[in-house]
Amino acid sequence: MSATPPRRVVVTGGAGFVGSWLCEALLDDGASVVCVDNLLTGRQDNVADLLDRPGFEFLQRDICEPLDVPGDVDWVLHLASPASPPHYLAMPIETMRVGSMGTMNALDLAERKAARFVLASTSEVYGDPLLHPQPETYWGNVNPVGPRSVYDESKRFAEALTTAYRTSRGLDTGIVRIFNTYGPRMRLDDGRAIPAFLTQALAGDPITVAGDGSQTRSICFVTDTVAGIRALAAADDAGPVNIGSPYEVSMLELAETVRDLVGTSSEITFVPLPQDDPRVRRPDTARAERLLGWRPVVGPDEGLKRTLEWFRGQLEARRLGHPGG
């Protein structure tokens, strides 16, 4: 682990779901934070409470264009990208551009500042895995021309580009592979399982489960994910390192848990399974535990309750005519 905490950090995608939590945690650690976001899928509401905090700066910029940040920078943490299927499927070119040009511009910034660079990659690089759970040594099973490829391949390219900057230019880099993360500040229209199930259950609508519901995901509360990102940033390891929870649940079980938590009588209905949807997903986190001393601490009961409170408040704000998520 690095003995010197960062004084100033650039977070791309800092107004997004995970990015805003990361900005807040870094400020709490005493760092100054430059939040860069073009607000394509991020929301300024996510960082509204940070705008008046000393050391916080918000730049509405597109990282696909060269970025200059005056002054010293210790870390560049690159999280910018659409991350939910409805968003990256609606914005395929933008997703590929931020994974390629956006990553290169963020790497160039880190190189100019002699900063440590950390790429927020994804469990999607494993595709529909043939090995379970997934260790970092697994190369994945990805369809390069399927509908999900715009996200999967943009992150795989970003990993390769990050590695090239490390090996050919000597840049201090790290790669973290983030597994399914949930929590407050997710958009109401996010489209992933937990936001979809919560909004449907809170409205009393049918809860729609893809396929037969047997496919699994491992869900990790956002504060745990952020702690893992910070731990890798503070280390001197190149990664990749899986950051995710070993708590694996089927989509049908998750829908039933959400229905019980909300206390609704919503029926559970089934819709076609999207093409290339992974059948299983669970990280092997042995490396994160050994290298970073990291493991998730927020259990699913607590995490889902906190997330439910957020969604309930957002839906109430929308009902009253406030912008909300």
Q: Catalytic amino acids?
A: 151
How far is C-alpha 151 from the geometric centre of its chain's CA atoms?
12
Exposure pattern of 136-167 as b/e (b: 16+ CB <10 Å)? bebebebeeeebbbbbbbbbbebbebbbebbe
**Rounded Cα distance, 258 and 101, in Å:** 39
Amino acid residing at 156: R
Residue that has been written with the tokens 């511009």 in this structure: 105
**Rounded Cα distance, 234 and 215, in Å:** 35
CB atoms within 10 A of CB 225: 27
The per-residue DSSP string of 90-133 comes to H-HHHHHHIIIIIHHHHHHHHHHHT-EEEEEEEGGGGBS-SSSS
Cβ atoms of 262 and 202 closer than 8 Å = yes
Sign of the torsion angle spanned by Cα atoms 18, 65, 52, 56: positive
Reduced to 3 states (helix: H, G, I; strand: E, B; else coil), residue 76 is strand
CB atoms within 10 A of CB 315: 17
Residue that has been written with the tokens 């905490």 in this structure: 5
How far is C-alpha 124 from the geometric centre of its chain's CA atoms?
11
Backbone angle region of 71, left / alpha / beta, with phi > 0 → left and psi within -120 to 50 → alpha: left
